[in-house]
Amino acid sequence: MKQVNLVISMGNITLDEYKEAYRRIIKEEEKRSFILHLILYITVNPLLIVINLLYSPQILWFYYPLIGWGFGLIMHYLFTFHWIDKILKEKEAKAEYFIKEKSR
């Protein structure tokens, strides 16, 4: 693999260093996004339970959003902490492919 240098205002960095920094930035953003999602889940669902039990205790519907949103939260967790590396590598490979195709 040919070594490529990128010129940045602070100096030269290698392509591998750039990729690693980019991956870390994306992972941090995804972690923050997941934490916000989790906080909202923990905050909103107890409110839904209280609303359900106060205004329509004869029909328990609170578990529908609890389960549905919980499934979404699980998927968000898996994406953020388990699948992100594979997805980033696939995107990098796709970008490299497009660059190679363009340079032909």
Q: What is the pTM of this model?
A: 0.79
Per residue in 33-82, pLDDT (tens digit) is 999 999 999 999 999 999 999 999 999 999 999 999 999 999 999 999 99
Q: Looking up tokens 């960095």, which residue turns up?
A: 13
Q: How far apart are CA 87 and CA 92, in angstroms?
A: 9
Q: List, in sequence order, every beta strand (DSSP E) within 1-104.
A: 5-8, 11-14
Q: How far apart are CA 34 and CA 40, in angstroms?
A: 10
Pairing verdict, β 5-8 and 11-14: antiparallel
**Where along the chain do its domains lie?**
23-103
Q: Please, which pLDDT band fits residue 14 given cuts at 50, 70 and 90? A: confident
Q: How far apart are CA 15 and CA 6, in angstroms?
A: 7
